[in-house]
Each structure stands twice: as structure tokens, then as C-alpha cells.
Amino acid sequence: MSRRAPSSPAASSAVARSLLALIGLALVAITAVTVAGRAAGDAAPPGPAVAVFPLQRLPLTFSHARHLGRGDVVCTDCHTRAATSRSALDRLTPDEAACRRCHAIDRGQPARDDHPVTACVACHPGWQADRAVERIDIPPPAIKFSHAAHAATACAACHPGVAQADLATRDHLPRMDACLTCHDDVTASGACTTCHLADRAGRVQTALPGGALIPTGGVSGAAHGPGFDQEHAQASRGLGAACASCHAQAFCVDCHLGVAKPLAFHAGDYVTTHAVEARRNQPDCSTCHRTQSFCVGCHERSGVGARGASGFRTAGEVGRFHPAGWADAGGRGPNHHAREAQRNLRQCTSCHREDDCRACHSAEPGGLRVSPHGPGWRGSARCQALAARNGRMCLRCHTETTAISCD
């Protein structure tokens, strides 16, 4: 069996250097990611989530700033149905009739211009007489909203900057931060489905025509970014954890108690390479696997365990799984298993059954009586707690007829 060099000051130093290098690598990566993120963020399409407010096509020339800047125009002059609208599906963009109240549009004279403007091309860029007017396309948002219920709220509170903008785009649609200033479970309901579409179970619909609705953080810190599939433990149990708002329990079961290995999670020849992570229990294998059934069954079948067909029981150094001196009862040599067992007992339980350990560690008559308890066991709180709560387990090794005691 080949091993890396035993630990020594030089080896420890090498490990320390490796750790420092890794931390350095992480810091460099963080910096690079931050810089790149800033750059990429600048190029990102503006506005709220596309899944909620799908991308729009607005072939229109219009200036909210010029209209509202007159001082005698208010939003509802043009958006006449906004104050009474009770559904986000209502079309609230003004039609031509709303414009005609000020603009003397004459479809018989499309090129005629006046003041205020009346020519078709003034508002419909690229307009040509022999071609149909290019229509605006504003897909219905995947949200529940009643303008009427928010009539007391200033338009600019939810549509910030629109008074200074020309064309109102997705960038002027509300973001969740603005909603949460009132929807804080005190002033107004903070339930997700107050605004988000719900399925029959009352969960948020995440598969929407505009794309998947994915948390970006902010509300509960549960931004579903890269790596969230493996590092969501605290987000799932922290204050405000809202997993059940979107996910049914079956969703959790699919991974935590699943029978199909997600290809992205344990990619490649993980059967071979998992040993490093398993010995560290990093990530925690027990969140999905039970060592005394899942791990033992696989290890026994693959020949790593003690009972299946295996090449490891052949004589000589090659045929050993553990190095020579691994289970010496007479003394602890450099390869003795005590250190590994104490470091992470779970790695032992992933191959061995209890009887393997009892062969030496049992205190029954005729046994080797090698105590597995460690120093200070007798009289310890742990001994007393175990004996008081599950004394039968003690009998697995202590078969003597005298009463078992921690004193």
C-alpha cells in the first residue's frame, strides 16, 4: 500500500502552504468575480425579473418627462383606467383616443404635423404609409396586482424615475424591494402569494411563461445562485426560510432521499474519488445516505468490505486494504487504526459492522478486552448517561453476570 509521507514538520508546513495557496486562490477568484460581475452587471438588461415582467417591445417615441413636466398633466389623464384597475392583466397603456384629447391626429392626413405633434411618424418611428404600424408588445406580467388597492400610493413610489424618463420601460416597473416596504407583514401581508401567482397548493408558481422565477436574495438571503444546491443548509433553516413557499416536500425528497444520482452533484467516477470527501465527511454524507446500509452494502458488494468477494484478503502487503499494524492489539504502531477511528468514526462504520469491532473490543470472557472507551471513561458523565438510558447496549460486550456500573 502506498502512502504519502508521514506527517512531519516539513509535511505540516507543506499542508499550511497548500492551505494558504487555496485561500489566496479563493481571494483572487473573489476579486475577479467581483470585477467581472460589475462589468457584466453594466451590460445586463435593466428592469425587474424577466419571469415576472417579460421582455417588451416598444416601437414608440414618447416622453413622460415632457408630458409630466408641463405641470398640468397627471398620470391618470392618460392612464385613465389605472385608478380602478384590479388586475395586473388589465391593459393600462393609453390608446390613441387618449392622445387625441390633445393631439389632433388625423389618420386621413398622416404626414400633417402640427403643435402638439400630429404626424404618425412623430410617435411611431419608421412609420410608412404602405406598411402596418408596428405594434407595441407588452406581455402580461406574472403577478397579482390591483392598482385600485394602491390608489393612495403615489405612482412614483412604484414606478420610480418615470417622470424624468422618456419612454417608460421595464426599468420603471416595480421591484420587490419597493413592495416590501409596505408588505412587511405589519402594514400589509408579507406572504409571497399576496403578489406572486399561486398554484392550488398555495405555493408560488415558479414555472412561468417568461421563464423560471428564481430567488435572487434580499428577502431571506436565499439567492439561488451557483452552488446553492450544495450550500443551502442555513438558508433553509434560518429566519424567514421560505422553501415551502415554492417547493413541495417531494422536491426535497427527490435529492435527499433520492435513488437517482443527480449527474451534476456526484459527477464522473465518484465511486472511485469519493473516498477523500467521505473520510472527511465533507459534505456531510448523512444528509442523504445511511452508512450502515447504503455505504456498507456498496462497500461489501464492491469487495472493499470484509464479507464480499474481494482481492484484499490475499496474503502480503498488496492484498491488505489497511496497512500492516492497523489492528495490532499489542501496541499502537505508526499505522494503528485508533487515530483514524477517533478522527472520524463514520468512515469505519461505512465498511464495518459492529461485530468487526467487537472481535477485539468486547469485554466478554475470552475476548481481547481492548477498551474502546478511552481514558476517563469510568465515572464520566457520558458513561453514566449511556448506561442510564440504554443499558442493554452495554451487554453487547459486558456479558459478565455482575452489575455493570460506571463507578
Partner 1 sequence: MSRAPALAACVAVVGALGVGEARAYDFEVRARTFGQGYQLPTLHLLGGELWLARRRFTESLSFTVWDLGDLRRDRRRAQPGRPDDGPVIWLSAHLRLDHDYGDWTMGAIDVDGRAIDAIDQVPELAASSLGLELLYGELAIDGLWHRVDLRLGRQLHLDDVDPWSMDGISARIRTPWPVTIEALAGLRVRDGSPLGASAVELDGTTGADCREYVEGPSPGAGTWQIIDRSRVPGDDRLGSDLAYCPQRTALMPMAGVAVEATGAGARARLAYRRTQSRTPGLIGDVDRLDHPDRGLYPDELGQAPAWGVNEELISVGVDGRWRPGGARGVTVAPWARARYSLIDAAVADAGAGVRLERGPHAVEPEVGYARPLLDADSIWSVFVTGASTDLRLGYQLAPRRGRLRARATAWARRYALPDPGAETAPAATSPWVGGGRVRAELAVTPRLRAELDLLGDDGYGGRRLGATATGRWQARRDLALTGRLGGLHVVTDQRASTGGASGVGQLGARWAIDGGLALDAATELSASPRAAAQLRVVVQLEIALEDDR
Task: Scan residues 291-310 and list those touching partner 1 (CB under 8 A).
Answer: 291-294, 296-298, 300-305, 307-310
Which long-range contacts does 79-84 make (Cβ < 8 Å, 24+ apart)? 82/147, 82/155, 83/147, 83/148, 83/151, 84/147, 84/148
Stretch 85-124 residues interacting with partner 1 (CB under 8 A): none
Nearest approach in angstroms of CB 243 to partner 1 is 10
Residue whose CB is less far from partner 1, 98 or 188: 188
Does 218 engage in binding with partner 1 (CB under 8 A)?
yes
Amino acid sitting at position 131:
R
Phi first, then psi, for residue 211 (nearest 5°) are 130, -175
Residues facing 211 on adjacent strands: 208
Name residues whose C-beta falls within 8 Å of residue 367's C-beta, 6 or more positions apart in sequence.
Answer: 358, 360, 397
- List 107, 115, 330, 401, residue binding partner 1 (CB under 8 A): 401
Residue pair 151/85 in contact (Cβ under 8 Å)? The answer is no
Residue with cell 424577466: 50
Helix (H, G, I), strand (E, B) or coil at 404: coil
Nearer to partner 1, 103 or 289 (CB): 289
Least separation in angstroms between CB 123 and partner 1: 28
Give the count of alpha carbons within 13 A of 294, CB side only. Answer: 14
Quick one: which of 350, 327, 375 has its CA closest to 281?
350
Least spacing, CB of residue 176 vs partner 1, in Å? 9
Binding span for partner 1 by CB under 8 A among 75-83, 129-137, 157-165, 375-383: 375-383
**Cell numbers given for 308:** 464480499
Please tell me whether the peptide bond between 283 and the residue prior to it is cis, using omega within 30 degrees of 0: yes
The residue count for binding partner 1 (CB under 8 A) is 161
The site string for partner 1 over 143-182 (x = CB under 8 A, - otherwise) reads --------------------------------x-x---x-
By beta-carbon proximity to partner 1, the closer residue of 71 and 268 is 268
Side chain identity, residue 133: V
From candidates 71, 108, 227, 330, binder to partner 1 by CB under 8 A: 227
Of the candidates 37, 116, 125, 126, which one interacts with partner 1 according to CB under 8 A? 37
Task: Kindly state whether residue 216 participates in binding partner 1, applying the rule CB under 8 A.
Answer: yes
- By CB under 8 A, residue 232 contacts partner 1: no
Contact assessment for residue 58 and residue 167, using Cβ atoms and an 8 Å cutoff: yes
Q: Judged by CB under 8 A, which of 284, 329, 368, 378 binds partner 1? A: 284
Residue 81 or 358 having the CB closest to partner 1: 358
* Residue 344 C-beta: closest distance to partner 1, Å: 7
- Alpha-carbon distance of 237 to 243, in angstroms, equals 9
Distance CA 138, CA 93 (A): 9
In the complex, minimum distance from the CB of residue 250 to partner 1, in angstroms, rounded to a whole number? 4
Residues, the chain: 407
Q: Work out the burial of residue 154: count CB atoms within 10 Å of its CB; fewer than 13 is exposed, 13-18 middle, 19 or more buried.
A: exposed
Is residue 45 part of the contact set for partner 1 (CB under 8 A)? yes
For position 33 contacting partner 1 by CB under 8 A, the verdict is: yes
Looking at the DSSP assignment, which residues form a beta bridge with residue 212?
207
Q: Where are the alpha helices (DSSP H) in 138-232?
A: 155-158, 176-180
- Of the residues 151, 374, 378, 405, which one makes contact with partner 1 according to CB under 8 A: 374
Residue 159: name the closest of 143, 179, 139, 142 by CA.
179
Question: Which is closer to partner 1, CB of 70 or CB of 237?
Answer: 237
Q: Is 379 in the site for partner 1 (CB under 8 A)?
A: no
Is residue 252 part of the contact set for partner 1 (CB under 8 A)? yes
Q: What is the sign of the dihedral through the CA atoms of 360, 364, 370 and 372? A: positive
Distance CA 103, CA 114 (A): 8
Q: Looking up cell 469491532, which residue turns up? A: 357
Residue span binding partner 1 (CB under 8 A) among the ranges 56-64, 92-100, 147-155, 333-341: 333-341
> Does 249 participate in binding partner 1 (rule CB under 8 A)?
yes
**Can residue 407 be called a binding residue for partner 1 (CB under 8 A)?**
no
Binding to partner 1, residues 185-214 (CB under 8 A): 199-201, 211
Smallest separation, CB 41 to partner 1 (Å): 3
